[in-house]
Structure 1
Amino acid sequence: MKTLIASIALLSSASAATASNLDQQVTRALPELEALYLHLHQNPELSLQEKKTGARLAAELKQLGFKVTERVGGYGVVGLLKNGEGPTVMIRADTDGLPIIEQTGKPYASKVRVKDANNNTVGVMHGCGHDIHMTSFIGAAEQLVANRDKWQGTLMMVAQPAEEVGAGAKAMLKEGLFSQFAKPDHVLGLHVSAALPAGKVAISPGYALANVDSVDIIVKGQGGHGAYPHTTIDPVVLASRIVLGIQTITSREISPLKPSVITVGSIHGGSKHNIISNEVKLQLTLRSYDREVRDQQIAALERLTKGIALSAGLPEALAPVVYVHEEESIPSTYNEPALANRVTDSIRNELGEAQVLKSDPVMAGEDFGLYGRTEDNIPITIFWLGGVNPEEYQRAQQTGEPLPSLHSSKFAPDYPLAIRTGVRAMTASALDLFNQ
């Protein structure tokens, strides 16, 4: 198989590279990129375990002439290419897979099985499209190197681990991503969409993705025999009241003009039919955009759970415990509007007006937002890259049959078209930012 360097040599021998013939250049590079995609898809690694993935991306960037540093913030990779005086543009891709057994039926499906942090054997799959992200990332780097006579500045390629657990961006920033390597003027990213046909791109100026918090609530009680409930304070009943009470936080305490989601995803308590237990555990996910709403959600949870417990006669010493996993918390992603609009124009010029849509914000989370939350207030923008085969998308629109979502064991993107579109969109955006 030819290396990416060989591909660049081929591109360089063609007519002078310009943004107007980018489609042709990407088409010629696509076979090598598809081979890279298939390798990444078949060799996924869990969060915080991306050793081989990081090494592969580092090798690709080194072949392209980047100055590469590995193991930044875990298995993160930073590649720098200085090309004269000008702005610094950072392009980021995430690298981790998910603990999912792939059930797509594709001949290239992942068959990887590993031990997770709890020593359980799990399947591993790129069910969130990070393999598309990484391939588009390398493809954009390749095109920008081939077109280096058309821009000036510093290209900063960041392959970030552990996005799925909200740890990668924090770790890379903590290790001095913007102080030890380069401080970008703009940060770009993309994310595959399971609700958008391949070939199209969608961008949301302003808020794009949500604050995410994981919260545990331990509801305590005074257990006993199920035949004598009057001698107990039943934590199952208290937990049930709390679950219902939680629904009033968003509906009655937070302004309807400010999005808020509080979902109880897990409830566990008790051990036998006729035993009233001493404890029930709840697990929640909280979503919002405004920091004030996030803080209001947590304060309301603490007040409401304690109030319900006290109203049942439970002593204050046994009040419910509300624990926020701060280490997993990530802020909302805010696409700086001026940058988002500029990127939108660049992609429209490259792909065509009909291929670029304005998207609504979503309540999913992404630690990409952290790159815009440092004291430097660097403008960032992430855009959605269509991943659904256009024919399958059209059929689903006609029949109403749901498409496999991100994180589904059956999510199988139309990778050739998605990669081609992602490389063109990212390259065009970067070229315009270098030459603004």
Structure 2
Amino acid sequence: MSPQTTQTTQSTEPIELARHYGTPLYVYDLDRVRAARADLFGWLPEGFEVFYAFKANPHTDLVRALRTGEGPACKAEISSTGELAAALEAGYPGSDILYTGPGKTSGELAEAIGQGVRTFSAESLSDLRHIGETAVAHGTEVDCLLRINSATASATTSIRMTGTPTQFGIDSETIAELAPQLLSVPGTRVAGLHLFSQSNARDEEALIGELTHTIEAAAEIQRELGVPLRLLDIGGGFSVPYAQQGGRDSYPKLRVELEASLDTHFPTWREGTPRLAVESGRYLSGDSGTLVTQVSNVKVSRGKKFVIVDAGINTFGGMSGLGRLLPVSVHVEADAETEKANLVGPLCTPGDVLGRQIEVPAGLASGDLLAIPNTGAYGPTSSLLMFLGRPAPVEVAVAGGEVVSATRIEHVRTPTSAGGRP
């Protein structure tokens, strides 16, 4: 990101900041990031660790806010050397980083180990061997969590990560057979398990059902491995609206339900064996963000109104290929008159649609500003930033009523040596 000159403004309200910095504009409220962190730790049993999934939003100021200030600090869950660089820049030590992903290359592993990362999630026996080979080459030994693809699940969620053939995790029914090989890979120590079965649980009951099922499954796998677990990552699923009005979900029953399940299946957990962790991306960053976009044009085609704005799927792609984007909502003042329109971006593709027949303020015209809420997760870095060569949006971080930074990701083509970066 190249820094923009940060000037004093009269307000840190997103619309006012857009008038200063232009559009498209993301505004991240770091106070809300820290509030989400405090809430999540508060819902969990005491002693739980929280790994922040950098894929949700790797903005340096945002991820720094998750490890600074009052209360427990988050750790980092990453899956690329780019995210590794962001974590290190934000002050995360290698000892607080979990490196995940099904396709780790030898170059990635070498860079991570060289930067002090010592905990990896292994997605298969071959992945574990790749990790071990790199560790041995660096004269060290690393801790590995075996990621498990459980054969069964408890809840139905927007994105299921287990129970089907997948590149993620070791099939749970093969653990007993593979145990001798998994426990004897040079350069690695099997430190625990990583079970991530869902994303964005539909409600608290679904979340509790899935996480307690995960704890039960982990206890069975521990027995099959024949070794005690030192770290158990039970995944996530904590929910927040995505580009829609509303607030983060609350989980008042979660602590007592997890404690009961852990008491049954891991009776020494209160003494720290195993250490316990969850991971979250959208819950920690989602409601911190507001995307402000300017209306470029308004037209009617065969009886339907189209509001064309300067933020398209290149600005807010939101992994739209997974069907996770439509429809967005925009801020409408209370009691204001509304009408239905298709909200579309500026790109030369019919796929550049943010919402079909959504409620927008009536009478929009070129130059008007619209604010899309809950856009702190899966924004610029999950969008088609390079498509059609349009500039990336400005991203402004605010805290305590002041602008902390204003930056923009730059697309620069540079010469590279054979092989490029890992």
Normalised by the length of structure 1, the TM-score is: 0.25
Higher helix share: 1
Normalised by the length of structure 2, the TM-score is: 0.26
Which structure has the larger Rg? 1
